């Protein structure tokens, strides 16, 4: 399949992956709260209608239902923002997922519409309904919210573990993939925890409750956190279902991913320990300040977990189907012969700021900027977060040539370079220009044709030695040959 390029947005010093990742973390946290909040509303409504808690109805009517309404509106807005950002960062990725899952996404939207209608109806008309009718409406809202999670979870977990789909191309093999169940159960528990913690903050902020009423409501809400006891098992299950190379990234292979995993585990352990031993077993009271701290820890756990979920897919964005820079694995060999910049029809931002050579923008720097935009910019910037010139500052030009050519061997979570030797040399020139402070003039890399040809020949040899496959594929093939 021929490579297809789309216009992509430039977020300046903010890495594209960071832009969509930060938005995604906020969206996931609010969506989890909307799901868990529905379950908590059902629980408190049941407590009120069965006479088990006199304060539950006041909390239901006065506070929590407003926050749930706000949360699922916020979740809807950030969900749309995720779509908008996705098509600017990696339209190929989102396009392939729509091709595979368009009907399931339509089903998810149906449940989301039901969630919105049921939630608004409970907010608007709940106090006018009988207890049984109100509970039924809240159950409908909660069920619709969880089913929205059910469908989205299958689509997102496919990105890491397509499983049997790689051979069968069956939609249901893609959806019910190896990490579907552990991630679904884990997210369900996380939703309950977030809802319970937010409820505890609001209980303490409510001026109308007495200390005794606050204690009772806090202890009632704490029971929603009891399933946290299952989180270690679900986490181990999810990690065990990962591809082996992905598991290596969080076990020390990638420092950033290992740190974020430890943040997620540590924050979850603090919240879980306080909930299970302090709130549930010891029946301790929790004030607003402590509840807020636990909410912040829950957000940190969400951020760490989402960072890991996104990061362990490297070097892919869709495992074995699409690299993180939107190049398909089967396209790499052809692109090393014909190049990617020749089919790029889109103008380059700030082209006029490049040095001139013979009265025109420097051709090598111009090509290098295009290569950077196509193959590097989704995870790197030129002068900001994860800036490529900063990462290579200790390398000389020859090291850059060899390391870029053998990138997947140098850093196995990186995709192989998908361009010609001339494009790689242009990328080196572009990075060197940035490292040296973007001077107004820059020499012609091809001024000596013989030396330039020798340089391209060395790059070609290094590209051939590295091969067009990711490091994990090469390692698997080497193991297979050694076992014969």
Q: What is the CATH number of the domain that holds 204?
A: 1.20.1630.10
State the pLDDT at residue 1: 56
Inside any domain, residue 3: no
Q: Side-chain half-sphere of 121: how many Cα atoms within 13 Å?
A: 17
Inside any domain, residue 222: yes
Distance CA 74, CA 231 (A): 27
Would you put residue 186 in left (φ > 0), alpha (ψ -120 to 50) or beta? alpha
Confidence category of residue 39, pLDDT binned at 50, 70, 90 = very high
Q: Verify that 314 and 343 share a domain, yes or no.
A: no
Q: Verify that 356 and 421 share a domain, yes or no.
A: yes
Least confident of 190-204, 266-280, 469-483: 469-483
Q: 309 phi and psi, to 5 degrees? A: -60, -40
Q: Verify that 76 and 145 share a domain, yes or no.
A: yes
DSSP state of 356: E
- Closest to 213 measured CA to CA, from 223, 204, 226: 204
Distance CA 274, CA 286 (A): 10
Q: Verify that 59 and 134 share a domain, yes or no.
A: yes
Distance CA 143, CA 141 (A): 6
48: Cβ–Cβ under 8 A, 6 or more apart, which residues?
54, 56, 57, 60, 131
| Domain final position from 323, 353, 371 | 323
| Domain final position from 323, 348, 372 | 323
State the pLDDT at residue 478: 41
Question: Does residue 18 surpass a pLDDT of 90?
Answer: no
Inside any domain, residue 11: no
Q: Verify that 29 and 114 share a domain, yes or no.
A: yes
State the pLDDT at residue 458: 97
Inside any domain, residue 6: no
Q: Verify that 343 and 247 share a domain, yes or no.
A: no
Q: What are 423's strand-pairing partners?
A: none
Q: Verify that 248 and 307 share a domain, yes or no.
A: yes
Confidence category of residue 71, pLDDT binned at 50, 70, 90 = confident
Question: Does residue 5 surpass a pLDDT of 90?
Answer: no
Least confident of 63-72, 111-120, 133-142, 416-425: 63-72
Q: Verify that 286 and 431 share a domain, yes or no.
A: no
Q: Verify that 356 and 253 share a domain, yes or no.
A: no
Least confident of 64-78, 173-187, 272-286, 439-453: 64-78
State the pLDDT at residue 475: 41
Distance CA 96, CA 235 (A): 28
Inside any domain, residue 426: yes
Task: Say which residue, 65 or 92, is predicted with more confidence.
Answer: 92
Confidence category of residue 476, pLDDT binned at 50, 70, 90 = very low
Distance CA 8, CA 335 (A): 20
Mean pLDDT of 27-53: 93
Q: Verify that 153 and 181 share a domain, yes or no.
A: yes
pTM comes to 0.90
Range of the domain at 447: 329-482
| Domain final position from 271, 304, 323 | 323
State the pLDDT at residue 482: 42
Inside any domain, residue 5: no
Q: Verify that 117 and 179 share a domain, yes or no.
A: yes
- Mind giving me the DSSP string for 418-437? -S-HHHHHHHHHHHHHHHTT
Mean pLDDT of 424-434: 97
Inside any domain, residue 76: yes
Q: Verify that 130 and 164 share a domain, yes or no.
A: yes
Inside any domain, residue 359: yes
Confidence category of residue 481, pLDDT binned at 50, 70, 90 = very low
State the pLDDT at residue 317: 92
State the pLDDT at residue 193: 97
Confidence category of residue 277, pLDDT binned at 50, 70, 90 = very high
Confidence category of residue 473, pLDDT binned at 50, 70, 90 = low
- The count of domains in the chain is 2
């Amino acid at each position: 399949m021929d490579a297809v390029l789309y216009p992509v947005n430039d977020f300046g010093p903010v890495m594209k992956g960071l832009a969509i990742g930060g938005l995604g973390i906020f969206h996931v946290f609010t969506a989890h709260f909307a799901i868990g909040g529905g379950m908590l509303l059902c629980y408190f409504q049941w407590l009120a209608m069965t006479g088990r808690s006199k304060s539950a109805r006041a909390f239901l009517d006065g506070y929590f239902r407003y926050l749930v309404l706000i949360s699922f509106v916020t979740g809807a807005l950030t969900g749309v923002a995720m779509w908008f950002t996705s098509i600017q960062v990696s339209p190929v990725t989102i396009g392939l997922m729509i091709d595979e899952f368009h009907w399931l996404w339509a089903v998810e939207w149906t449940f989301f519409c039901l969630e919105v209608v049921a939630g608004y109806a409970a907010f608007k008309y709940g106090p006018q309904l009988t207890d049984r009718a109100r509970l039924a409406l809240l159950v409908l809202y909660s069920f619709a919210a969880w089913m929205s999670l059910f469908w989205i979870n299958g689509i997102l977990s496919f990105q890491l573990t397509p499983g049997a789909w790689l051979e069968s191309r069956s939609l249901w093999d893609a959806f019910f993939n190896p990490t579907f169940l552990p991630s679904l159960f884990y997210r369900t528990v996380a939703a309950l925890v977030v809802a319970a913690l937010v409820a505890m903050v609001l209980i303490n902020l409510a001026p109308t409750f007495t200390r005794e009423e606050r204690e009772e409501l806090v202890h009632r809400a704490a029971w929603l956190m009891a399933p946290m006891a299952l989180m270690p098992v679900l986490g181990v299950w999810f990690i065990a279902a990962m591809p082996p190379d992905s598991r290596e990234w969080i076990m020390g292979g990638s420092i950033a991913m290992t740190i974020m995993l430890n943040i997620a585990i540590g924050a979850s352990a603090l919240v879980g320990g306080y909930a299970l031993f302090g709130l549930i077993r010891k029946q301790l009271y929790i004030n607003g300040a402590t509840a807020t701290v636990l909410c912040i820890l829950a957000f940190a756990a969400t951020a760490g977990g989402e960072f890991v979920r996104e990061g362990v897919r490297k070097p892919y964005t869709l495992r074995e189907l699409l690299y993180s820079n939107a190049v398909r694995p089967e396209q790499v060999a052809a692109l090393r012969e014909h190049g990617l910049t020749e089919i790029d029809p889109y103008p380059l931002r700030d082209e006029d700021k490049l040095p001139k050579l013979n009265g025109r923008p420097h051709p090598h720097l111009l090509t290098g900027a295009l290569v950077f935009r196509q193959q590097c910019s989704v995870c790197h910037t030129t002068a900001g977060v994860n800036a490529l010139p900063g990462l290579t500052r200790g390398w000389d030009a020859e090291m850059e040539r060899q390391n870029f050519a053998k990138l997947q061997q140098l850093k196995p979570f990186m995709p192989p370079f998908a361009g010609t030797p001339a494009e790689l040399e242009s990328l080196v020139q572009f990075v060197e220009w940035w490292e040296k402070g973007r001077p107004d003039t820059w020499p012609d890399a091809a001024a000596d044709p013989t030396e330039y040809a020798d340089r391209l020949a060395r790059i070609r040899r290094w590209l051939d030695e590295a091969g067009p496959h990711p490091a994990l594929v090469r390692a698997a093939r080497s193991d297979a040959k050694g076992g014969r």
